[in-house]
Amino acid sequence: MVKLVAIGNRFMKDDAIAIKAAEMLEDRLTQQDVHVIIGETDFQHCFYLLDEDDFILILDALSPREEPGKVHLFSLKDVISQPSLFSMQHDMSMVELMKLYGVQFQGYLIGIEISEIGIGYELSAVLNHKLPQICREIENVIQKILWEETIHA
């Protein structure tokens, strides 16, 4: 089963970008047999909802290195073996749990560059403006992944 896990904190501005995008895409992804899990900050609970034969898509905010709203795609295999490839907002993460328990999920990390982290329920103006574009890009990435996995399965 394909599972998308959205991680973030709704009360820390752009850290909620993955949650907001997943909520906007949930109906469309469900129609494509993608099970959407809105994990928020409870990544440990999300981890225990995964089975070793699931294909995992982790959606999370990335610390700013490039343009806010830019979507990045990393294979979980690369993320686990080369953690310096990216910087997530959370000290402990789904990736850290995978390392800790030695679980080798197949899948990808889809990261979204943020603009602002701070106390606040709303996204920054720049990410709020780009949210529809971010969602289109995420959906396109997921469709491409699903197509490639179906061809190679």
Assess contact for 78 and 45: CB atoms under 8 A: no
Question: What's the whole-number mean pLDDT along residues 19-27?
Answer: 98
The length of the chain in residues reads 153
d(CA 50, CA 32): 18
User: For residues 51 and 133, which has the higher predicted lDDT (pLDDT)?
Assistant: 133
What CATH number corresponds to the domain at position 37?
A: 3.40.50.1450
pTM of the model: 0.88
CA neighbor of 39 nearest in space, from 2, 17, 6, 12: 6
pLDDT at 152: 55
Which residues form the domain of 29? 2-152
Does position 86 have pLDDT exceeding 70, yes or no? no
pLDDT digits (tens, 9 = 90+) for 40-78: 888 788 888 899 899 999 999 998 788 999 999 999 888
CA neighbor of 92 nearest in space, from 104, 82, 100, 102: 100
pLDDT digits (tens, 9 = 90+) for 117-129: 999 999 999 999 9
Number of structural domains in the chain: 1
E strand or H helix at 85: none
